Amino acid sequence: MLYLALKALLSGIIIAAVSELAKRSPGVGALVASLPLVSVLGMMWLWHDTRDPVRMAAHAGATFWFVLPSLPMFLLIPALLQRGVPFWIALTAGCALTVGLYLAMIWIGPRVGLNL
């Protein structure tokens, strides 16, 4: 239980740090947010829990392929905001686009040989 609390606390600290940095400097906040900290922490926790190199390799490879469908969200949201779309609608549209692209990746990936 303590281990789970530690993981949650560390993850929460990273999210809080990103939001605080972004208040001071949007560019620095974006830089930290773009770092694969969650992925690296997830790999560290997975390795600690399993010590399974096959599972780790599969996880790291799948993470790469699932990052790709999330990227267009970061183009859509600013484009919508710059056109006067309210934040919550722009965020919802970006998330909906990402979900749709994730579903497409889940459907298409195995058909083209990706092990997701």
* Same-domain check for residues 88 and 111: yes
* Same-domain check for residues 15 and 52: no
* Same-domain check for residues 6 and 42: no
Rounded to a whole number of angstroms, the distance between the first and last alpha carbons of the chain is: 29
Residues 67-88 pLDDT 10s: 999 999 999 999 999 999 999 9
Mean pLDDT of 41-70: 94
Q: 55 phi and psi, to 5 degrees?
A: -65, -40
Q: 86 phi and psi, to 5 degrees?
A: -60, 150
* Same-domain check for residues 60 and 76: yes
* Same-domain check for residues 78 and 113: yes
The answer to whether the CB of 77 falls within 8 A of the CB of 91 is yes
Closest by CA to 36, choosing from 70, 61, 67, is 67
Which residues span the domain enclosing 20? 1-35
Mean pLDDT of 88-102: 98
1: pLDDT strictly greater than 90: no
Instruction: Return all residues near 54 (Cβ < 8 A) that are at least 6 apart.
Output: none
* Same-domain check for residues 95 and 58: yes
* Same-domain check for residues 31 and 8: yes
Residues 20-37 pLDDT 10s: 999 999 999 888 888 898
* Same-domain check for residues 50 and 90: yes
Q: What's the confidence (pLDDT) of residue 105? A: 96
90: pLDDT strictly greater than 90: yes
Total domains in the chain come to 2
